[in-house]
Amino acid sequence: MRGRIFAVIAAVSLLVGCDHTTKHLAETSLRYSGPKVLVPGVLDLSYVQNHDVAFNLLSWMPTTWRAPLLLAIGVLAVVGLVVWLAKRRSAPPLQAVAVALILAGALGNTADRLLRGYVVDFIHVHRWPVFNVADIAVVVGVILLLIGPKITEWRSRAAPTPS
């Protein structure tokens, strides 16, 4: 059990570290130089200060309300995920990994909002909003939560039955 707790803490710390390192690199190398094209027409690195959430869903809300609301939601999400992990120590490993990924993403973006007042986004896959490592962690975590039960079901069906 302690090994699992250590693994979750290590994974979350590593992801948050990667997130903040890449955001710092984006801020120092892309902020004033403009986008760096990696695959023309497909992928580039572009510095963006995101004062909203994905797809600008809260753009209608005044910034004076939006900023504290997003910070509060981030803090509540982090606390809720930590409590979930603490109480569900016997959760299936895939579920724990998924929640750890979501926690890491929430921590990374919430820390940005707290320290900078905005989230640094820099990965731009064309025809898609600009995002960051924390966003990737959240999306992968949610996907794992959604498909985890199916994977468990497939594994149990594929497992040989004792004769």
* Alpha-carbon gap, residue 37 to 24, rounded angstroms: 19
Q: Is there a catalytic annotation at residue 19?
A: no
Q: Is there a catalytic annotation at residue 135?
A: yes
* Alpha-carbon gap, residue 163 to 160, rounded angstroms: 9
Q: By CB neighbour count within 10 A (0-12 exposed, 13-18 middle, 19+ buried), where does 50 fall? A: buried
Q: Decide if 66 contacts 78 (C-beta within 8 A).
A: no
Largest distance between two CA atoms of the chain: 68
The pair of structure tokens assigned to 157 is: 């069906």
Positions marked catalytic? 121, 135
